[in-house]
A and B are shown apart, each in its own frame.
Chain A
Amino acid sequence: MTTPLAEVASSNSTLRAFLHGLPGVDRVGADARAAMLGTRSIKTTAKKQAVDMAIGMVDLTTLEGADTPGKVRAMCAKAVRPDPADASVPPVAAVCVYPDLVATAVTALAGSGVKVASVATSFPSGRSSLEVKVTETSLAVAAGASEIDMVIDRGAFLAGDYLKVYEEIVATKEACAGRHLKVILETGELATYDNVRRASWLAMIAGADFVKTSTGKVSPAATLPVTLVMLEAVRDFHAATGRQVGVKPAGGIRTTKDAIKYLVLVNETAGPDWLHPDWFRLGASSLLNDLLMQRQKMATGRYAGPDYFTLD
């Protein structure tokens, strides 16, 4: 790296030169590596640990137009005590809601240790003015959110206006007033793995505490190879600057098998330091029930059925 990171963002051309100077991603290689790591067999006691670890990393999410305070309260109850019949199940890491429901979630989760994350900055499209985005972030923070999930302006990113994306992240980070900032890259719209690597670096240089794959509203959402590229980026960023940044794949992770594949990927790419809810999260809603069913299968020896878990 010829330019010090602090000076990279001094203009759009330096930023562009830096991001386009990052090594390209070997697409076939990344796909093959992710697929190979996905075949690791995790069984018995290791699987038990992995399931509990995955439950503790879930960001239980509801981001629907039809969300009601009642639904959010029910989800919060489930976040604190995922299986009412089994107190040994750990609580999830956080719940993730729209900004107007943050206050409801904060009240429902008071004293539980489960964090409240709020999406902001005109989620999911990110198509609004900077003032609106900053104000929305400030309101979510004021309502009590301890984590903010922002979306980047993909239009600006794809048009090559990296400085605009950078400045928006910086402004949002400022509005977060010390709360955790997760930056959603929406990798399904970024077209190439090279862009995923560039967007990850851009977000980290701008001060992101987490990089997150997707909004869950665009297909494809989180995939293993995309997460691999992002994990490599946070590993390299940590090596270059000493600052650790977390990763959150979100959307499309529905089964325990998928979740365990992600844990293997984290361990083999970024390393065991990232295997902690502070540094790795899984954005999901239906995944939690599958984790609970697997947990029960291992405890009782019989296959569990969805009739015995809460609907979400």
Chain B
Amino acid sequence: MSEQAARLAVRKTYKLFVGGAFPRSESGRSYAVTSSKGDFLANAARASRKDARDAVSAARKAFSGWSGATAYNRGQILYRIAEMLEGRRAQFVAEVVDADGVSAKKAGELVDAAVDRLVWYAGWSDKIGAVLGSANPVAGPYFNLSSPEPTGVVAVVAPPMGPLLGLVSVIAPVIVTGNTCVVAASERAPLPAITLAEVLATSDLPGGVVNILTGSSAEIAPWLAGHMDVNGIDLTGADPDLAVTCEELAAENLKRVLRPPAGRVDWLADPGIERMTAFLETKTVWHPIGV
């Protein structure tokens, strides 16, 4: 034996993120996550349909509060997420290196881009209404106003590539406008998603606004697509077969569907506002003049 006893390793248990808490999967299942080189990294929870159901309940419960918060407040909270993410930069760089096998320099760029992406979307919170809303000229004595409103609970199938930047790029546009979401994280690289959940949990984001499930997207996504209390689904990370299945299931209650992009996505490019407009409804109000 050596002079000094070796210290026991304290390893993190990667769990789900539902309703602001970190529960294990109700199924008790987990799966081994490996690095891009095939080395064992950790065991992650493998969510079941009942975890998805619980996550939808949590997202529904959080919706009225989050969509009712002022745009200013939502922007502040998104900015706060960016601050927290910046504070954990080193941890995320290490996780991205493990997951994607990129150099530390490249990983640093990707983490910086994720922080910047959050700040960018944070700025949109109180501007999207001005860009998409309008005062409409009508032939009658009415004030006629249109404004964008959040769709509701949105299921998000996160992209398998881009475990941090890709994930942030699909979550931020959904929640900044007032939706709440249930995210099926990348099956291949779920660890940054759960570390991001730790960031979200300490960012004044109300519990349930973002819920993150790890495990098989092919298993979870159809349950979310068929769920009658989910109002929209972003299929960015779904493979073509899964996307077709989910879109068919989503038709039952006329969910908004964002189809997967054709070809490989460059997450570093300017995202535009399409991801926000995909989950917004236009509300038009007719108000009598002079009454």
Cα-based distance from A47 to B226 in the complex (angstroms): 22
A242 nearest CB across to chain B (Å): 45
**Which residues does B use to contact A, with CB under 8 Å?**
53, 56, 223, 226-230, 249, 252-253
Q: Which 5 pairs, one residue from A and one from B, show the smallest C-beta to C-beta distance?
A: A305-B229, A305-B228, A302-B226, A303-B227, A304-B228
Across the interface, A307 reaches (CB within 8 A) one of B53, B56, B229, B252, namely: B229
Write out the residue numbers on chain B whose beta carbons fall within 8 Å of the beta carbon of A308.
228
A303 nearest CB neighbor, chain B only: B227
B279 nearest CB across to chain A (Å): 17
Write out the residue numbers on chain B whose beta carbons fall within 8 Å of the beta carbon of A306.
229
Q: List 13 A-B contacts (CB under 8 A).
A: A302-B223, A302-B226, A302-B228, A303-B56, A303-B223, A303-B226, A303-B227, A304-B228, A305-B227, A305-B228, A305-B229, A305-B253, A307-B228
Cα-based distance from A280 to B132 in the complex (angstroms): 56
Cα-based distance from A302 to B228 in the complex (angstroms): 7
The answer to whether A303 touches B252 (Cβ under 8 A) is: no
The residues in A between 273 and 312 inclusive whose CB is less than 8 angstroms from any CB of B are 301-308
The residues in A between 243 and 290 inclusive whose CB is less than 8 angstroms from any CB of B are none
A73 nearest CB across to chain B (Å): 27
B222 nearest CB neighbor, chain A only: A302
Cα-based distance from A270 to B228 in the complex (angstroms): 38
Which of A303, A305, A307 has the most chain B CB atoms closer than 10 A to its own CB? A303
Write out the residue numbers on chain B whose beta carbons fall within 8 Å of the beta carbon of A307.
228-229
Cα-based distance from A83 to B263 in the complex (angstroms): 46
Which of A301, A307, A308 has the most chain B CB atoms closer than 10 A to its own CB? A307
Write out the residue numbers on chain A whose beta carbons fall within 8 Å of the beta carbon of B252.
302
B52 nearest CB neighbor, chain A only: A303
Cα-based distance from A307 to B229 in the complex (angstroms): 7
B250 nearest CB across to chain A (Å): 11
Cα-based distance from A307 to B230 in the complex (angstroms): 10
B49 nearest CB neighbor, chain A only: A303
The answer to whether A303 touches B249 (Cβ under 8 A) is: no
Write out the residue numbers on chain B whose beta carbons fall within 8 Å of the beta carbon of A303.
53, 56, 223, 226-229
Cα-based distance from A124 to B249 in the complex (angstroms): 48
Write out the residue numbers on chain A whose beta carbons fall within 8 Å of the beta carbon of B226.
301-303
Cα-based distance from A307 to B231 in the complex (angstroms): 11
A293 nearest CB across to chain B (Å): 9
A86 nearest CB across to chain B (Å): 14
The residues in A between 188 and 238 inclusive whose CB is less than 8 angstroms from any CB of B are none
For the A-B complex with A302-B252, A303-B223, A305-B253 known, give 20 more contacts whose Cβ atoms are closer than 8 Å: A301-B226, A302-B223, A302-B226, A302-B227, A302-B228, A302-B249, A303-B53, A303-B56, A303-B226, A303-B227, A303-B228, A303-B229, A304-B228, A304-B229, A305-B228, A305-B229, A305-B230, A306-B229, A307-B229, A308-B228
